[in-house]
Amino acid sequence: MKKTIAIAGLGWLGKPLAQHLSFLGHTIKGSVTSQRKATALQQSGIDTYVINSTEDGLYGAAQGFLKQVDTLVIMIPPGLRKNTGADYVLKMSHLLSEVLKSKVANIVFISSTSVYNDTQGKVTEKEVPLPETQAAKQLFQVEQLFFNAPGINTSIVRFGGLIGGARQPVKYLAGRKALEGGDAPVNLIHKKDCIGIISNIIKQDAFGHIFNGVHPNHPKKKEYYSQKAKELDLIAPEFSQSEVDTQSKQVDSINLEAIIGYRFKEMI
């Protein structure tokens, strides 16, 4: 069944998702935060709106963006790593207010495995996140806002570290020394599997669920990044030999296979 799908945030993941869903025959709308980006995307054939969600309110033609939309995919990053003191919860509550005014019935909210903290060890969707940082606490709160919103069926997708194309985490670690956490497992996912998971949720109307989007293989960081550095002809990062006896987070999923029958296609 062909649908009208709106994607809030046509960035590194949102743009190829839009292209994929369009290829499948769906009608796609998208949003960005600047007219320059919108013009470029419109020229590529994507119906694009300029929408800015701020602490003061939502600016742009939100109702035009949401008009006649069956499913809304939200992938607006919190942008909290810079410790600016931004209120992500307030920003997203303005977006939710506009969604509640519309006829949108289904939402896929893209979140992160950062809502789990390291002391939780091995986790699946059965575990309730215990966010530790302020950024993670805000993200988890926004998850709950949308998941519990009246009249809307929301699925939460918590992606691990995103890789694919030029985006390879080892590039930021190459040549560094005395890194900690070498024995900790990686929690990563390829961009193509991100797109596959979101597409399958929409295709199967699998709303009202929580999915951990992480590849099931979890090699140790020191082994994984050494191998990736070798493959990319980079200087391998060096991890500290003395490991502190602390628990590390490993994120797995039981819902991806049980609910949407998803099998991973790309290696990390």
Joined tokens for residue 233: 């002809």
How sure is the predictor about 147, in pLDDT bands with cuts at 50, 70 and 90? very high
Alpha helices, DSSP H only, in 82-190? 88-101, 134-147, 170-173
8 A C-beta contact, residue 214 and residue 82? no
> Model confidence over 48-82: pLDDT tens digits?
999 999 999 999 999 999 999 999 999 998 875 55
> Model confidence over 185-213: pLDDT tens digits?
999 999 999 999 999 999 999 999 999 99
- In words, the CATH class of domain 4-162+190-216+249-260 is alpha beta
Mean local confidence (pLDDT), 209-232? 97
Residue 55 to residue 89: CA distance in whole angstroms: 9
Q: What are phi and psi of 38, to 5 degrees?
A: -65, -45
pLDDT of residue 245: 58
Residue 216 to residue 197: CA distance in whole angstroms: 14
Mean local confidence (pLDDT), 36-57? 94
- Total number of residues shown for the chain: 268
Q: Nearest 5 degrees, angle CA 226-CA 227-CA 230?
A: 90
Amino acid at 128: V
pLDDT of residue 81: 56
Distances (CA, A) of 251 to 118, 161, 246, 258: 10, 11, 16, 16
CA 256 from centre of chain:
15
8 A C-beta contact, residue 253 and residue 212? yes
> Model confidence over 76-112: pLDDT tens digits?
988 755 555 689 999 999 999 999 999 999 999 999 9
CA 243 from centre of chain:
30
The domain locations on the chain are 4-162+190-216+249-260
Q: Is 119 helix (H, G, I), strand (E, B) or coil?
A: helix
